[in-house]
Structure formats: C-alpha cells, structure tokens
Amino acid sequence: MSLIGNLVWGAALVSLGAAEVAAAQEPACLSEREVTSLVTYALPVVMNSTMKACRPQLSPQGYFATQGTSLVQRYAVRKSAAWPEARAALVKLGGNDDKLKDIVSNLSDEALQPFAEGMVSAVVTKGIKPGQCKAIERATRLLSPLPPENTAELVTFILVLSDKPQVRGAVGAAKKSDLPICPAA
C-alpha cells in the first residue's frame, strides 16, 4: 500500500512541476486532512492505472479482472467531493513559486483535473514493476471491504507514519516521502 501512496504523491508533485520547485525551496506543508483529500481524489486513478499496468502479469480470473472495475467506480463516487480541497492542496504544493501557483490557481477544473489525473496515471504506470503486481492486487483485495473514506485515511496514516524518522529507521527506509506533510500538532 505504501507503494501506491508514494506513487500518488510523486504524481501530485510531478503533475504540478513542483518536484523542481521543492528541490529549490521548502514548499508549504500539507495537513493530514489535505493529504486525505488528495488520496481520496487520486485513488480511483491510481487503482485504474495499476490494473492496466498489471493486466499482463495477473490472472484473467483474479481480483482486478473480476472486481477491479466496480471497486474503481465505488471509489470514484467520492472524487467530486474531495476535489475542492485536493485542488487547494495541489496549489499549495507549488511551494513559494508564485508564478506556478498563479498558473495552477487560474486553470479551470476542466483543465486541471485531466492534467493531474494523466500525470498520476503516467507515474503509476512507470513506477510499477511487473513483480509487484500480485502483491498490489492482494493488498487491494484485502483492503476492498473498507469504505473508500477509511482506505483514504489509512493511506494518509501510512504516509504520515512513514515520514517519522523512528519509523523509517525501524523499516530501513532512509528517505522521507516527497510529499511535504506538516508535523502533527
């Protein structure tokens, strides 16, 4: 699941061209609520892209092939409600680059949504290695009984937890996520 979460956040940064901005300056951090909005908005795209990327490696009778489309549809129902806060979080990811923030802020939803979703899809497709597909399908199947809002909050929880130095050390991860999550209050 953390693979999927990292892909979502990497895609969010790339979709706005913020990776270069983040390297040059410290962007504003995102609250857990903003991260959850981004996750809620992006999960259907992540799932759909994952299913397409993994199709050649998985059984035509497996979970993605038989239940994946209905799962994506179930998650997609919440996208519209999550969009306003997810959009604000995407703008925030522009860091201190006022020009980038201005461009993104002035894009219509009709222009920004397909662009962001296309970038998420491209990053997911590029980031998944064929050997990961069975594990991703299994994790998705195991999480599928959860309501979409619980899954989004679980992904957020994992992202926040994985940014803590003591957790990274315990699991052997040296690098923080690229997503600037605010320290918990």
Please write the tens of the pLDDT for every residue from 11-65. Answer: 444 444 444 434 445 558 899 999 999 999 999 999 999 999 999 999 999 999 9
Q: Provide the pLDDT confidence category of residue 162 given band limits of 50, 70 and 90.
A: confident
The residue with tokens 């519209």 is: 80
Please return the burial class of 131, using the count of CB atoms within 10 Å of its CB with bins 0-12, 13-18 and 19+: exposed
Does residue 178 form part of some domain? Answer: no
Distance CA 142, CA 179 (A): 26
- pLDDT confidence of residue 60: 96
Does residue 179 form part of some domain? Answer: no
Closest CA to 50 of 12, 5, 88, 89: 5
Average pLDDT of span 131-141: 95
Does residue 7 form part of some domain? Answer: yes
Number of structural domains in the chain? 1
Please tell me which residue, 112 or 24, carries the higher pLDDT value. Answer: 112
16 three-class SS: coil
- pLDDT confidence of residue 1: 41
Average pLDDT of span 62-91: 94
pTM of the predicted structure, to 2 decimals: 0.77
Closest CA to 104 of 19, 17, 3: 17
Q: Provide the pLDDT confidence category of residue 180 given band limits of 50, 70 and 90.
A: confident
The residue with tokens 């983040």 is: 22
Average pLDDT of span 132-151: 95
Closest CA to 48 of 65, 77, 68: 68
- pLDDT confidence of residue 92: 84
What is the percentage of the chain residues whose pLDDT exceeds 90?
48
- pLDDT confidence of residue 165: 65
∠ Cα 95 109 120 (to 5°)? 65
Does residue 103 form part of some domain? Answer: yes
The pair of three-digit structure tokens given for residue 82, joined into one six-digit string: 């999550």
Answer whether residue 84 shows pLDDT above 90. Answer: yes
End-to-end CA distance of the chain: 25
Give me the amino acid identity at 91: V
Question: What range does the domain containing 69 cover?
Answer: 2-19+26-171
What is the percentage of the chain residues whose pLDDT exceeds 70?
75
Distance CA 11, CA 18 (A): 10
